[in-house]
Amino acid sequence: MSDGCKRLMVAVLFLVALSTAAGQRGGGGGAAGLKPQNQDQEPSPTNNSDIAKARADREQNIKDAARLAQLAAEVKQALENGSEFTLSVASLQKAEEMEKLSKKLHGRMKADNAAAANPSTWMEPSRGKS
């Protein structure tokens, strides 16, 4: 396997792990000493168009991640079954598609994360009386 292919596979796996970790911890953090107003509810977008956009982005993220995983599996299989010294043009094209998909996915997730980390949804923790 060539160094370029190894780097690409590592980059793809890193992006998938990064996106999984960001999804599991709930996106971006807040300022130190602050907590969300409603911990069992996600912050609500300001209007219906924000909700529709968030849903559409989430669905597209899921589709792109599934396609990325499929392409990675196909490239891996082609590398395992191919010769040690050759790489097919189809594998290179799939690797380029993986790169484009991962950049789009990363950009969309980064924008979603920035929108979710809206400081207006955070408040000071209650002190004293409970």
Which tokens sit at 40?
């069992």
pLDDT at 24: 53
If the chain, 130 residues long, is cut into consecutive pieces of 10 residues, what is the mean pLDDT of each piece?
63 63 51 49 67 91 96 93 88 95 93 71 49
pLDDT at 120: 55
pLDDT at 29: 46
Contact present, 112 and 57 (Cβ < 8 Å): yes
Please, what is the Cα angle at 41 between 65 and 117, to 5 degrees? Answer: 60
pLDDT at 85: 85
Contact present, 82 and 88 (Cβ < 8 Å): yes
